Amino acid sequence: LGRRELFPSGTAVSIGSAVIGDGDIAVFAGPCAVENPGQMMSTARAVARHGSVGLRGGAFKPRTTPYSFQGLKWAGLDLLAQAREETGLPILTEVVDPRHVDRMAEVIDGFQIGTRNMQNFELLTEVGRSGMPAVLKRGFGCTVDELLTAAEYLLAEGNDQVVLCERGIRTFEGATRFTLDLSAVALLKRRTHLPVMVDPSHSLGIPELIEPLTLAAVAAGADALLIDVHVQPEQALCDGKQALLPEDFARLMSRLEMLALGV
Ligand code: PEP
């Protein structure tokens, strides 16, 4: 159902007021994890001011070790809803459990399915059934074909509001956290009518590389970007090393604007 030939002009996906795949680059920015009211509100205000069309933020965090911060869970969703109230930005947040889908759908604007759950088929089916838009992240050990067949689980439920997200894969290269596979972006744009998002933050783990790889992702055909921003990255409870400060995010947004204008 995702084959490009079926909709050669491409599918546009609406996450609240934000549209992905309409020809503009849609940026969803915010903290990796929702941590407390002050951090969430100040980050949300900053990304809204600098042109983000949506708010990202994890309330349920699937961490590699159980001893890391696991997220504020339902309390985190309440803070995201407050941030939406104040900024008007729609909320994109990760779902980790099929049993959470209905309750989350009452609050959020779009589901994110994380790299570790790309092949959690029950979760995919449940999100597909909800009819809500979903960003499906590529499993870091999965091929492009596996990403496309995982997306079919959502599409097969009659839900075409699916965005595919390249967020880096595991290779022999250890200099960056993962290897951002931009060839997958160019390939996906040819193979599927679904829009493509790129998350340079989780892939690189090095803030200085985010700007060049973001520009490269757009050149490769990305429709949307997912960017970690934190007002105090050194105090972040999750992935602080990769987060941009609001001022760096502002610079990135103006570079994107210049790219769009062909300056
Ligand atoms: C995230 O975006 O918050 C996240 C955990 O990303 P990934 O699933 O790509 O690691």
User: Is 115 domain-assigned?
Assistant: yes
**3-state SS assignment for residue 185:** helix
User: Is 217 domain-assigned?
Assistant: yes
User: Is 10 domain-assigned?
Assistant: no
> Using CA atoms, how far apart are residues 226 and 202, in angstroms rounded to an integer?
9
The pLDDT value given to residue 3: 95
Cα 7 to averaged position of ligand 1 atoms, centre (Å): 29
Ligand 1 and 94: CB distance under 6 A: yes
User: Is 19 domain-assigned?
Assistant: no
Distances (CA, A) of 30 to 14, 209, 219: 18, 18, 23
User: Is 15 domain-assigned?
Assistant: no
Using most ligand atoms within 8 A of CB, pick from 34, 92, 147, 167 the residue to mutate for ligand 1: 167
Cα 261 to averaged position of ligand 1 atoms, centre (Å): 30
User: Is 130 domain-assigned?
Assistant: yes
Cα 121 to averaged position of ligand 1 atoms, centre (Å): 18
The pLDDT value given to residue 236: 86
CATH number of the domain bearing residue 72: 3.20.20.70
The pLDDT value given to residue 132: 98
Cα 262 to averaged position of ligand 1 atoms, centre (Å): 31
User: Is 95 domain-assigned?
Assistant: yes
Question: Which residue stretches of the chain have pLDDT < 50?
Answer: none
Ligand 1 and 115: CB distance under 6 A: yes
User: Is 252 domain-assigned?
Assistant: yes
Are the CB atoms for 118 and 136 separated by under 8 Å?
A: yes
Q: Which atom of ligand 1 is nearest to the CA of 228?
A: 2
Question: In this structure, which residue's CA is closest to atom 9 in ligand 1?
Answer: 115
Ligand 1 and 114: CB distance under 6 A: yes
CB atoms within 10 A of CB 262: 5
| H or E segment to which residue 212 belongs | helix 210-220
Ligand 1 and 202: CB distance under 6 A: yes
Instruction: Respond yes or no on whether ipTM tops 0.85.
Output: yes
| H or E segment to which residue 205 belongs | none
234: containing domain: 24-261
Ligand 1 and 137: CB distance under 6 A: yes
Using most ligand atoms within 8 A of CB, pick from 202, 226, 227, 244 the residue to mutate for ligand 1: 202
CB atoms within 10 A of CB 100: 18
The pLDDT value given to residue 263: 72
Question: In this structure, which residue's CA is closest to atom 10 in ligand 1?
Answer: 115
Q: Which atom of ligand 1 is nearest to the CA of 116?
A: 8
The pLDDT value given to residue 235: 87
Cα 11 to averaged position of ligand 1 atoms, centre (Å): 24
pTM of the predicted model as reported, rounded to 2 decimal places: 0.96
Domain count across the chain: 1
Q: Which atom of ligand 1 is nearest to the CA of 168?
A: 9
